[in-house]
Structure 1
């Protein structure tokens, strides 16, 4: 089943299209910000949407920590079904660990504490948990005594969410995605969602979810509607209220939109609340304005993205507009694209190292991670093949440059080839957090 939002115009939804255009300008011009997609909803209708080529509407995008909000929805659905008790201890779901976990604070960590990133640890525990037990992250986490009483301090802590996913698997008898599919994905018409698994075959929970931008918008709209979709209650109203309000204070976080409090795998913000993930994956919900904004990208400065939203989009809501501004925005959205490499033509260049002629075109073939990465290279454009897009050019000194985009993720790889020796150097624009070049793509079902 496919559920799509009705398409409208900014003016019809009470949004000044010039503010949306100004937001696009800011996203494209701000240092350390690179947009890949935008979906803007108001009153449950599409006010604006667009994808910067070579990213496209139908493709999934790695959401990194925005995955946490999908995991939390799975927990909320299980709470509604009576399978999970928010105030039950984590240990009660893993009785086989009872004898191992002796610290009293660890034994008092509840599901509620996990949801609020309030396990009592003062800092991230993932590396330490995995070092304590390389095969059972939940056990390693519970063997780390909290620094404070659970529920009293905030620390962004991946094993909290990993353990939530493990609890869902434990109480439902299947995978997290198996649980989400009939209870969340199918009702919302989310046709494509996949999750990176760890070495034990379990979803990471805290990261690794691949979904299209429309799925992000739908999750935000579900919460904006109080957990109801097409007349069907999916999440309890009380769950939504708790998830989207401060459950633990976090005033020590550095950026203003990260220090407004934390709910259930949602950040409170200066305006509304949001789920977010590394390098600029956002699900922003503005209840007062009845707005949902979904964004993907490759942005190192995530605060700058939100600053642009508050500066340009927020004042445009309930602002004046006109049909000409709507049409100008529509044309702009239809022509979005990330610039291809600029430089000398590859034509006339002999095969060199990993870069070889492929008919009238070129192909880059690089051995990485014990496998082979191969992609056609466009000149002055992005050539797309599968989950890869590439663009190439020659420098004045003859150095051959190829940029490879992994278009189901935020990531871009810069490849440089010495024309004399064929030697290759590579550098990431943004460092992948849990994958290499051969696995930066939608996981197989």
Structure 2
């Protein structure tokens, strides 16, 4: 559970000059646009005005940040600059003399730390695929071997490999990895407990993704930036760095209605309405509204990131009023709505005689990209136990009948990460299993279609993905062993 000693203070929306009616409009707007949020916190004047978690997501659970991690990496670089550990003018190649190509091209030689920060490295495509494919696991060497097509600083390209290089440089220069470097400087003062960060094969934190913290931790980080680096009377980040990092450093489009074309800072995006943000894939947001003294933190499972921001601009901007307001009939309704937020499991509710026929049987799967070899399901009165066996061992997941059951598994690449599972029969011949990784954006569905006494056809779908999300029978057919 949360440690209340390090929690943000709370006040009512009305005390903070926030319209409860507009916050309800925000919730309704998300539903109208079919946007799946997992949590949100709305802060003003340093206090939480409104907050909610869509059950089975919960405030004490961390959530994968994806590229919102970049803003934390940038912060570490800013601290290192202030401490004289490095400068923004330092050449990238100067930190990796043993990993350079035999001939160093001019554009690579000209690349500085500031170019990594502003996504102005000069590359024509994101370098992460090449880093992942490096057979020796040396991501820095792979980065330095790639062609740099443009003069650094002249061409914007969103490049997660550039943020990895910031992490690698920091570790080289300071002798500490990102988590170690930020522990005393950021995480401990903010009360961010037990952050985790993925690493590359050589043990360097990935930088551009991989950080896992709670929604309230995201909100604290945004509040720190809103307060220009001050926290409880202590300066954690230099104000000059915050001004520079959150200002437009390079053009990334022609503006207009897109919040991905308003300019880019040092691992922060400029937005419309005088706002800036850090964000990550599938809707992880830290939005700072300096003109309104407000912060919005959100975690999600959606591919419609612009849609999320549009709903924020449409409803929450107008919720911010110049003075405190009186409690009205909307105040109680908002409190009730926030307490009742939830994501329903599928509840088709049919019964099937197939439970007695397939229950307890082990089915061998065809070769599949998930590398699952065997599958079995055992049915109980109010639950089912799904057992998956494959290259990485056995996963045993307990699923509620038409309700969520909470358990722990490594299925979603989180060490003993929490999941919520449920099952229902779509027809008397089709079983639907739903598994939510509630520390991630991901919700996995497995539909098992009974073919005959010994054969199931299993189709997988997922709510969000960097690739296809549905319609592909990834697991194929499963037959009795």
User: What TM-score results when the alignment is normalised by the length of structure 1?
Assistant: 0.92
Q: Is contact 1:101–1:107 with CA below 8 Å preserved after alignment?
A: no
Q: Is contact 2:37–2:298 with CA below 8 Å preserved after alignment?
A: yes
Q: In the TM superposition, what is the alpha-carbon distance from 1:37 to its structure 2 partner?
A: 0.2
Q: Does 1:403 align with 2:434?
A: yes
In structure 1, the partner of 2:314 is: 311
How many Å separate the matches in 2 of 1:287 and 1:360? 50
Q: In the TM superposition, what is the alpha-carbon distance from 1:74 to its structure 2 partner?
A: 1.3
Q: Is contact 1:18–1:321 with CA below 8 Å preserved after alignment?
A: no
1:102-137 CA-to-partner distances (Å, cap 9, x unmatched) read 111101111111100011123312223555675222
How many Å separate the matches in 2 of 1:361 and 1:132? 44
Q: In the TM superposition, what is the alpha-carbon distance from 1:49 to its structure 2 partner?
A: 0.7
Q: In the TM superposition, what is the alpha-carbon distance from 1:29 to its structure 2 partner?
A: 2.8
Q: Is contact 2:118–2:266 with CA below 8 Å preserved after alignment?
A: yes
Structure scoring higher RCO (CA < 8 A, sep ≥ 6) equals 1
Q: Does 1:428 align with 2:430?
A: no
Q: 1:414 aligns with which of 428, 445, 451?
A: 445
In structure 1, the partner of 2:337 is: 332
How many Å separate the matches in 1 of 2:228 and 2:102? 40
SS of match in other structure, 2:56: coil
Structure 2: gaps of 5 or more residues: 362-375, 409-417, 468-481
How many Å separate the matches in 1 of 2:129 and 2:166? 18
Q: Is contact 1:101–1:143 with CA below 8 Å preserved after alignment?
A: no
Q: Is contact 1:34–1:299 with CA below 8 Å preserved after alignment?
A: yes
How many Å separate the matches in 2 of 1:321 and 1:23? 20
Q: Does 1:379 align with 2:410?
A: no
1:46-75 CA-to-partner distances (Å, cap 9, x unmatched) read 001110011000000001111111111111
Q: Is contact 1:133–1:139 with CA below 8 Å preserved after alignment?
A: no
SS of match in other structure, 1:162: helix
- The verdict on how the C-alpha distance between 1:126 and 1:253 changes in structure 2, with shifts beyond 3 A counting, is farther
How many Å separate the matches in 1 of 2:333 and 2:360? 45
How many Å separate the matches in 1 of 2:350 and 2:8? 43
Q: Which moved more, 1:71-80 or 1:233-242?
A: 71-80
Q: In the TM superposition, what is the alpha-carbon distance from 1:100 to its structure 2 partner?
A: 3.7
In structure 1, the partner of 2:473 is: none
Q: Is contact 2:351–2:428 with CA below 8 Å preserved after alignment?
A: no
How many Å separate the matches in 2 of 1:19 and 1:352? 51
How many Å separate the matches in 1 of 2:164 and 2:310? 30
How many Å separate the matches in 2 of 1:109 and 1:294? 33
Report matched runs for 1:34-433 at 5 Å: 34-97=36-99, 100=102, 102-131=104-133, 134-251=136-253, 256-271=258-273, 272-318=275-321, 322-345=327-350, 349-350=355-356, 351=359, 354-358=376-380, 360-386=382-408, 387-419=418-450, 420=452, 421-431=455-465
How many Å separate the matches in 2 of 1:237 and 1:424? 55
- The verdict on how the C-alpha distance between 1:113 and 1:55 changes in structure 2, with shifts beyond 3 A counting, is same
- The verdict on how the C-alpha distance between 1:202 and 1:181 changes in structure 2, with shifts beyond 3 A counting, is same
Q: Is contact 1:10–1:17 with CA below 8 Å preserved after alignment?
A: yes
In structure 2, the partner of 1:8 is: 11
How many Å separate the matches in 2 of 1:359 and 1:130? 45
Q: Is contact 1:100–1:143 with CA below 8 Å preserved after alignment?
A: no
In structure 1, the partner of 2:368 is: none
Q: In the TM superposition, what is the alpha-carbon distance from 1:197 to its structure 2 partner?
A: 1.7
How many Å separate the matches in 1 of 2:211 and 2:435? 22
Q: In the TM superposition, what is the alpha-carbon distance from 1:432 to its structure 2 partner?
A: 6.4
Q: Which moved more, 1:116-125 or 1:134-143?
A: 134-143
How many Å separate the matches in 1 of 2:449 and 2:177? 47
Q: Which moved more, 1:257-266 or 1:417-426?
A: 417-426
Q: Write 1 or 2 for the structure with the bigger share of strand.
A: 2
1:332-380 CA-to-partner distances (Å, cap 9, x unmatched) read 1111100111212558632165221247532112234533222211123
1:225-258 CA-to-partner distances (Å, cap 9, x unmatched) read 1111111111111110011100000116896100
Q: In the TM superposition, what is the alpha-carbon distance from 1:418 to its structure 2 partner?
A: 2.7
RMSD (CA atoms): 2.1
Q: Is contact 1:255–1:303 with CA below 8 Å preserved after alignment?
A: no
Structure 1: gaps of 5 or more residues: 434-445
How many Å separate the matches in 2 of 1:246 and 1:60? 30
How many Å separate the matches in 2 of 1:50 and 1:218? 16
In structure 2, the partner of 1:437 is: none
How many Å separate the matches in 2 of 1:252 and 1:158? 22
- The verdict on how the C-alpha distance between 1:88 and 1:253 changes in structure 2, with shifts beyond 3 A counting, is same
User: What TM-score results when the alignment is normalised by the length of structure 2?
Assistant: 0.85
1:257-284 CA-to-partner distances (Å, cap 9, x unmatched) read 0000000100000030000000000100
SS of match in other structure, 1:12: coil
